[in-house]
Structure 1
Amino acid sequence: MRTRTLLPIAGVIIAVVALAVLSGRWIDTAIWGADGARVIDTTRQLIRAASSGDQAALACEHFATDFGDPQAWNGLRAGEPEKFDAATSLDRSSLDASWSINLEGSSETSDVSPSLVFYREIEDGLCVADVRW
């Protein structure tokens, strides 16, 4: 009788864990923490948006860098997030950013593709502060 009660509960637990693992979010959170996983999620959104030319909503106010050709974003993936440290940044020391993340892969349709994205924390999430090409 006890086994019959535990089997459905075990099935639900296994299904929830499988869904979390398959979503990738759980793995990102386990490796990079909640903040790092948020940077990865935002980068995935940016790649999808930028590859179709719809990235403006993710840009910080007064964003001055060009997102480039939308096709340059095709084939890219979110890499490894890290806290941005202006003191150790060689070429972005004056940038008001909170996070940076490398972009992995290469563009399927362009010879040039972005390599790093810099984010600033804002009230409702993250916005793109700069893109390194």
Structure 2
Amino acid sequence: MRRTRATAVVGVTALALVVSGCAVVDHVVWGADGAAVIRTTERFIDAAAAGDGASVVCDGHHPELREPEDWAGMSAEEPEGFHAEFWADQAPLEPSWIISLSLPDERVAPGSEHPGDVFYRETDDELCVVDVAWSTVLG
């Protein structure tokens, strides 16, 4: 009986890790704050692709979101703390975090534009978007 119970616990634990694999890996690699940026970015991408990106935008800010199809298939990459020396135009917005986005392979075409980086501000209980930097695929 003891061995069966231990086996069941190990099985349930392994299943939980598989189901939440990305979240666990993000938490281990990027820490709790970085994992929160990734989760928020995935939520923002989904909202923007559905035409509701403004729901994740900070009050009083109006980043360029363009069209919902511009967000289709985008994915979150690596979060990092904001550094004003690299992003002088965004410094007045006082972001806390930045995360790059990845364009799906089928959308990579010279001259195409896509959302490239998202800038977040931390509030008391969440992250919200203050800006989006757009990128152009080079030839």
Whether the TM-score (by the shorter chain) exceeds 0.5 is yes
Return 37-46 or 89-98, whichever deviates more: 89-98
Aligned alpha-carbon RMSD (Å) = 2.0
Q: What is aligned with 2:78? A: 80
Aligned equivalents of 1:26 and 1:19: distance in 2? Answer: 10
One-letter amino acid of the counterpart of residue 12, structure 1 = V
Q: TM-score, normalised by structure 2?
A: 0.83
Aligned equivalents of 1:10 and 1:125: distance in 2? Answer: 39
Q: 1:27-38 residue pairs with structure 2 within 5 A?
A: 27-38=25-36
1:109 positional shift: 6.6
- Contact preservation (8 Å) 2:103, 2:114: no
Return 58-67 or 13-22, whichever deviates more: 13-22
Return 33-42 or 84-93, whichever deviates more: 84-93
1:108 positional shift: 5.7
Q: What is aligned with 1:63? A: 61
- Contact preservation (8 Å) 1:86, 1:95: no
Of the three residues 9, 12, 27, the one matched with 1:12 is: 9
Of the three residues 102, 122, 127, the one matched with 1:104 is: 102
Return 114-123 or 12-21, whichever deviates more: 12-21
Of the three residues 25, 39, 42, the one matched with 1:41 is: 39
Q: TM-score, normalised by structure 1?
A: 0.86
Size of the aligned set, in residue pairs, is 130
Aligned equivalents of 1:48 and 1:41: distance in 2? Answer: 11
Return 54-63 or 110-119, whichever deviates more: 110-119
Q: What is aligned with 2:125? A: 124
Query: Please, which runs of 5 or more residues in structure 1 have no aligned partner?
Result: none
Query: The residue matched to 1:44 in structure 2 has which SS?
Result: helix
Residues 49, 107 of structure 1: alpha-carbon distance in 2 compared, 3 angstrom cutoff: farther
- Contact preservation (8 Å) 2:90, 2:131: no
Q: What is aligned with 1:115? A: 116
Residues 20, 56 of structure 1: alpha-carbon distance in 2 compared, 3 angstrom cutoff: same
- Contact preservation (8 Å) 1:117, 1:128: yes
Aligned equivalents of 2:121 and 2:91: distance in 1? Answer: 14
Return 36-45 or 61-70, whichever deviates more: 61-70
